[in-house]
């Protein structure tokens, strides 16, 4: 075990805080380490594993396509890509799509398209928002720890408080190219946006000629209990950013493009790997499986169940400040730093994420069962009552 950890630690660039567990296998919502120890996975590949690990249909589609054609840049049409483009536009109700390889690229494209389409420069983003780590997306991201080492960032960005329509109204002007928002702020602490705020933001953009970019990189593909979180509030963004679980775990991103963006000039953007047949085949299989397994409905039902169990736990724990989330994107805000508790959960067989300093974020595969969710709640309750941990956390 330690060999692998040591090798990675020796050669890694160092930007990741590595956990001392070597993961070698997964199935559904379960992971195994190289010692054969089992974990309930509430990291879910940081949102890329909505379908669960080792989905047979996705694995078969990848294997079949790999033997047929992997590389085919978008200058040539391709059967898998054409089918996926049609599917994504049908599912979102948006007419066109740009295919890329990650969430940050999907955001980067949306920002560039918004600037070109509106001939305006300014981008309004939200405090606590997270949109990625390339320069355009990083400039929209709020967390200082990610931004400051790379300043000066791209000019023309401002950040206003989330869920505050009045603040938004003050900054959206005839110079605003786009407002970019998450429907639920994930990385920033699991804060759901209110229907009034999100619809109001859309209305404001319409009135002032700005475009609305919705970043569904984390909330997309069933996570919040609908295929896309915009469906909770009847939102129709002008640009919609997707990634993470779009291709069953393979790296892929997509920017869906609405009517108001108009025709984009040739050559202004592109991606060598974007929309390659391998990821398109994986994505088609993943979308088919999400439908077959009724994943959005499962996320809605099991997410509500999980939140109830966690609320019960919160009533008996002086350490929990709040339980919040939508579907199976769930955050438990503690009155102390969350990191030691996340570590303790891992030691007891539950992998979870942080979101900000005080929040434990649960992002399990959407195939997770109620019994597994019960085990997560039970383990959390145990961990929160460990006296030794409270000392560590202080």
Ligand X SMILES: Cc1ncc(COP(=O)(O)O)c(C=O)c1O
Residues near ligand X (CB under 6 A) are 102-104, 107, 130-132, 182, 186-187, 215, 217-218, 243
Closest CB to ligand X among residues 218, 358 = 218
Structural contact between residues 238 and 266, judged by C-beta atoms closer than 8 angstroms:
no
CB 59, min distance to ligand X, A: 21
Structure token pair of residue 210: 């700005």
CB 67, min distance to ligand X, A: 27
Closest CB to ligand X among residues 131, 159 = 131
Return the half-sphere exposure (C-beta side, CA atoms, 13 A cut-off) of residue 61.
23
CB 262, min distance to ligand X, A: 25
CB 139, min distance to ligand X, A: 13
Closest CB to ligand X among residues 271, 379 = 271
The CB-nearest residue to ligand X is 103
Closest CB to ligand X among residues 218, 377 = 218
Closest CB to ligand X among residues 16, 76 = 16
Closest CB to ligand X among residues 131, 307 = 131
156-182 core/surface letters (b: 16 or more CB in 10 A; e: else): bbebbebbebeebeeebeeebbbbbbb
CB 389, min distance to ligand X, A: 27
Dihedral class, residue 163 (left if φ above 0, else alpha if ψ from -120 to 50, else beta): left
CB 353, min distance to ligand X, A: 10
Closest CB to ligand X among residues 215, 333 = 215
CB 133, min distance to ligand X, A: 6
How many CB atoms neighbour CB 301 within 10 A?
15
Distance CA 321, CA 139 (A): 31
CB 91, min distance to ligand X, A: 19
Structural contact between residues 12 and 22, judged by C-beta atoms closer than 8 angstroms:
no
Closest CB to ligand X among residues 128, 131 = 131
**Nearest of 102, 192, 190, 104 to residue 146 by alpha carbon:** 104
């Amino acid at each position: 075990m330690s060999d692998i950890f040591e090798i990675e630690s020796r050669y890694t660039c160092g930007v990741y805080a590595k956990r001392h567990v070597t993961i070698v296998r997964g199935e559904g919502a379960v992971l195994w380490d190289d010692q054969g120890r089992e974990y309930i996975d509430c990291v879910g590949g940081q949102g890329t594993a909505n379908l669960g690990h080792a989905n047979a249909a996705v694995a078969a589609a990848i294997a079949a396509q790999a033997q047929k054609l992997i590389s085919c840049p978008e200058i040539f049409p391709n059967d898998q890509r054409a089918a996926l483009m049609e599917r994504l536009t049908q599912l979102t109700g948006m007419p066109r799509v740009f295919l890329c390889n990650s969430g940050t690229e999907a955001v980067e494209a949306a920002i560039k398209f918004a600037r070109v389409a509106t001939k305006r420069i300014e981008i309004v983003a939200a405090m606590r928002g997270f949109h990625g780590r390339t320069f355009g997306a990083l400039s929209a991201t709020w967390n200082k720890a990610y931004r400051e080492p790379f300043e000066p960032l791209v000019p023309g960005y401002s950040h206003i408080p989330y869920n505050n329509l009045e603040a938004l109204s003050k900054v959206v002007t005839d110079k605003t190219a786009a407002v970019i928002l998450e429907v639920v702020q994930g990385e920033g602490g699991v804060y759901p946006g209110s229907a009034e705020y999100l619809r109001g933001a859309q209305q404001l953009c319409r009135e002032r000629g700005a475009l609305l970019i919705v970043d569904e990189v984390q909330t997309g593909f069933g996570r919040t209990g609908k295929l896309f979180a915009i469906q909770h509030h009847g939102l129709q963004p002008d640009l919609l950013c997707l990634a993470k679980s779009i291709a069953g775990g393979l790296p892929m991103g997509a920017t869906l493009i609405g009517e108001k963006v108009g025709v984009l000039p040739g050559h202004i953007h592109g991606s060598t790997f974007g929309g390659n047949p391998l990821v398109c085949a994986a994505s088609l299989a993943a979308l088919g499986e999400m439908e077959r397994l009724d994943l959005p409905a499962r996320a809605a039902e099991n997410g509500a169940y999980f939140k109830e169990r966690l609320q019960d736990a919160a009533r008996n724990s002086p350490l929990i400040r709040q339980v919040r989330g939508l579907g199976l994107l769930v955050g438990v805000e503690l009155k102390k730093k969350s990191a030691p508790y996340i570590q303790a959960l891992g030691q007891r067989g539950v992998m979870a994420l942080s979101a900000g300093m005080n929040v434990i974020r649960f992002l399990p595969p959407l195939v997770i069962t109620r019994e597994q969710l019960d085990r997560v709640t039970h383990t959390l309750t145990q961990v929160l009552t460990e006296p030794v941990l409270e000392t560590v956390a202080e």
